[in-house]
Amino acid sequence: MAEETLSLYKNKDNIFISLKVVYKNVNELKKKLSSGLSNKIVVSMKLKDKKSGKAIVEKSVIYEAVYDVWEEKYRLYSFEPLKTLVFETNSKDEVFDRFLNITEIKLCDLKSLSPDGTYNLKISVLVNPVSKEIVEKIKEYLSDPEAVQKGTPTRTIFGSFANAFIPELNVENSIKMEMKSFSLQEIEEKR
């Protein structure tokens, strides 16, 4: 699916993450961005004190790109704890670039970290995640569309083969990465 580059930087009293996702199937994602359906990137972060193993920060940020077919505009939403940002543009290339180049995820306040501590950061990135529940609903519908609509449990011959036609969740859409241990002195200041 993708690879990404990750960097940390300090700005005033906060530590931020800059993340670039390099998606292998660019044309497929660009096509999805123009479909009118939402496209999501979910970034989950966990920052731990290396010595104690204690979690300092655990949070997820969701980025959602949607093309409004009526207004012919792209909207990029950023859902973070306690704030939501919206960016609008008419350019598919601009929204695509912003969607895959996330430059300002607030990780934590500098006050929450010890100046002489060492920390580990784990990040999980999902592009257009599909839940297991949705996959199961699709399989159930394929097994017998009329029964699902009526609420009765019956199966067709085709439905018996639904598992063969719908593969398991595509794990190529997810990346897990762990940053090497770092200290506050190693993080560069950015203004």
| CA–CA distance, 102 with 122 (Å, rounded to integer) | 16
123: how many CB neighbours lie within 10 A of its CB? 20
**Whose CA is closest to 108, among 62, 64, 50, 55?**
55
**Whose CA is closest to 37, among 77, 73, 76, 65?**
65
In CATH, which superfamily holds the domain spanning 2-129+171-189? Immunoglobulins (2.60.40.10)
At 34 the pLDDT is 81
3-class DSSP assignment, residue 38:
coil
Cα angle for residues 75, 81, 83 (degrees, 5° grid): 50
At 35 the pLDDT is 81
- Inform me whether the pLDDT recorded for 44 exceeds 80: yes
163-173 pLDDT, tens digit each: 554 444 444 56
93-146 pLDDT, tens digit each: 898 888 888 888 889 999 999 888 999 998 888 887 766 666 677 767 666 666
- Inform me whether the pLDDT recorded for 2 exceeds 50: no
Q: Considering the chain, what is the average pLDDT of its residues?
A: 78
Q: Determine how β-strand 73-80 pairs with β-strand 55-68.
A: antiparallel
Name the band, by pLDDT with cuts 50, 70 and 90, for residue 1: very low
Domain ranges in the chain?
2-129+171-189, 131-169
From residue 96, alpha-carbon distances to 5, 28, 76, 93, 160 in Å are 17, 12, 9, 5, 40
Q: CA 179, 129, 14, 57: dihedral to nearest 10 degrees?
A: -70
